[in-house]
Amino acid sequence: MHDFKYVEGELFCEEMRVEEIAPKVGTPFYLYSSKTLVDHYRKLDKAFSSLPHLVCYSLKANSNLAMCKLLAQEGAGADVVSSGELFKALKAGMPAQRIVFAGVGKTEEEIEYALKAQILMLNVESVPELDLINEVAGRLGKKAQVSLRVNPDVDPQTHAYVATGRKENKFGLSMEVARELFERRAEFTHLKMVGVHAHIGSQITSVRPYVEALQKIVVFIKDLERGGIKLEYLNVGGGMGIVYETEIPSTAEEFARALLPLIKQVQAKVILEPGRFIVGNAGILVTRVLYVKKTAVKTFVIVDAGMNDLIRPSLYGTYHEIRPTSGRKGTMPESDKKLIVADIVGPICESGDFFARDREIPEVEGGQLLAIFGAGAYGFSMSSNYNCRPRPPEVLVKGDKFQVIREREKYEDLIRGEV
């Protein structure tokens, strides 16, 4: 599933020993495997190869240019949710005609930028947004391609913060409103309504919610067809889950096997918007133990990465596997020493600054390196400078070589733009 493996008790990323990289770049740092990234993209691409399809990598998961460039070279398009992401996707070489733009709050400026860049389409989430795109397109003398994002009202069985396809969520249009807009399409003289979009949530491990959503959408599209409205695109969104702990997520083939028969009923080109599935397990965060602090009730392993570097555990209470990057020569870290139960915490001034609570890990001491797995998606991309901490570098491994693909921020970066 990924190319982070222990060989004789030492953690390797592809053919690079993690402990060899650490002194050269300092800690903490993000470490990515190019092979894992590309393999995951190819798996999904291949699974849907029996139909005309487009995999639009979701930049929000990880928008590093080098990573996006690797995916662009594989033929990936991009799913963006801001003009900043659009800027980066274009910079990385993702062709405009393979870029789709979602999000409930696109500004007029962002719409103008997207139309001038001639992206494939905007995924529209509200009636006033549709009106505004029509107006901006008219002003620019363009015909804007749009899909309507529908909210199929299904339970994706994931964390509430990343569930997006239930009717109480802010995303998408109800099927009724979407149908009415398609029927009124002639009124929007500067728009071409080409498709339907749905994204029901993130870290979804079962195909069931997708099938449930798609069944509703297929009925919806067939209904439109009966009314003489033919759509070119069906965007099924992203959200495919990965292994963090003990999950058994459906594979790309299982997704395809469940979804393709439904998609084939409507003969539209399918768009997928995976983020986490492609990049989640392609990255780890490497951090150094600063201190081990024992109190009357707990042991705290204090590390040099904080919630500003990786916020998922603090924000969602999510699990990340954490292991020392080496054991004694020739042994796995776990077989090395006695196990302790500890909270693994960062240096930030918040009690919510933790990576694991009451976690059983091999006894560690100051100076040792820990790998926090599954940090490739929503890791660096959600990082911040909280507590005035310069953000860590990002490092990419290819075979037995590594390259810093984003430098560690400097103190000067902390005051850039301030007066």
Catalytic residue annotation: 349
Residue 142: which residues within 8 A CB-CB, separation 6 or more?
Answer: 115, 190
Name the one range near ligand PLP by CB under 6 A: 55-63, 110-118, 261-269, 344-352: 55-63
Closer residue to ligand PLP, CB minimum distance, 376 or 393: 376
Name which position in 40, 88, 179, 199 contacts ligand PLP (CB under 6 A): 199
Residues in contact with 40: Cβ distance below 8 Å, sequence separation at least 6, in sequence order: 277, 278, 279, 281, 282
Give the C-alpha separation, 157 to 204, whole Å: 7
Q: What is the dihedral of CA 322, 397, 409, 57, to 10 degrees?
A: -90
61 lines the binding site for ligand PLP (CB under 6 A): yes
Of residues 234 and 369, the one with the C-beta less far from ligand PLP: 234
> Binding of ligand PLP at residue 85 (CB under 6 A)?
no
DSSP 8-state class, residue 249: P
Q: Which is nearer to ligand PLP, 22 or 213 (CB)?
A: 213
CB of 256 to ligand PLP, least distance (A): 15
Contact present, 127 and 160 (Cβ < 8 Å): no
The least CB distance from residue 414 to ligand PLP, in Å, is 28
Q: Name the residue with tokens 């009966």.
A: 226
- Minimal distance, residue 343 CB to ligand PLP, in Å: 28
79 binds ligand PLP (CB under 6 A): yes
| DSSP string computed for 29-62 | EEEEEHHHHHHHHHHHHHHTTTS-EEEEEEGGG-
Q: Nearer Cβ to ligand PLP, position 32 or 277?
A: 277
Please identify, using beta-carbon distances, which residue of 21 and 67 lies nearer to ligand PLP: 67
| Chain centroid offset of residue 143 CA | 30
C-alpha–C-alpha distance, residues 278 and 392, integer Å: 22
Site for ligand PLP in 341-400 (CB under 6 A): 377
Q: What is the DSSP letter of 88?
A: H
Q: What is the DSSP string of 349-393?
A: SSTT-EEEEEEEEE---TT-EEEE-S-SSSSGGG---GGGPPPPP
Min. distance of Cβ 279 from ligand PLP in angstroms?
Answer: 8
Only one of the segments 53-61, 133-141, 286-294, 301-309 lies at the binding site for ligand PLP (rule: CB under 6 A); that segment is 53-61
Stretch of 56-64, 104-112, 125-133, 207-215 lying at the interface with ligand PLP (CB under 6 A): 56-64
Longest CA span, the chain? 72
Choose one: 3-11, 57-65, 205-213, 362-370; the region binding ligand PLP (CB under 6 A).
Answer: 57-65
The one among 60, 98, 179, 323 contacting ligand PLP by CB under 6 A? 60
Residue 98 as a binder of ligand PLP (CB under 6 A): the answer is no
Report the residue number, 236 or 369, with the smaller CB distance to ligand PLP. 236
Per-residue interface string for the shown chain with ligand PLP, residues 218-237, x marking contact by CB under 6 A: -------------------x
Would you count residue 129 as binding ligand PLP (CB under 6 A)?
Answer: no
Dihedral sign computed on CA atoms, order 214, 220, 221, 222: positive
Decide: is 58 part of the binding site for ligand PLP (CB under 6 A).
yes
> Residue written as tokens 């491994």?
397
The least distance separating ligand PLP from the CB of residue 382, rounded to whole angstroms, comes to 11
Residue 306 touching ligand PLP (CB under 6 A): no
Closer CB to ligand PLP, residue 102 or residue 252?
102
**By CB under 6 A, is residue 125 in contact with ligand PLP?**
no
Copy the structure tokens of residue 335.
Answer: 């077989």
C-alpha Rg value of the chain to the nearest Å = 23
Cα dihedral across residues 156, 157, 158, 161: positive or negative: positive
Do the strands 29-33 and 283-294 form a parallel or antiparallel pair, or are they unpaired? antiparallel
Side-chain-side CA neighbours of 115 within 13 Å: the count stands at 25
* Span near ligand PLP by CB under 6 A; candidates 23-31, 54-62, 134-142, 382-390: 54-62
- Indicate the residue among 9 and 77 with the shorter CB distance to ligand PLP: 77
One of 22, 38, 55, 102 touching ligand PLP (CB under 6 A):
102
Name residues contacting ligand PLP, limited to 257-296 (CB under 6 A).
273-277
Q: How far is the CB of 240 from ligand PLP (least distance, A)?
A: 6
Cβ atoms of 59 and 85 closer than 8 Å: yes
- Chain contacts with ligand PLP (rule: CB under 6 A): 58, 60-61, 79, 102, 199, 202, 237-240, 273-277, 377
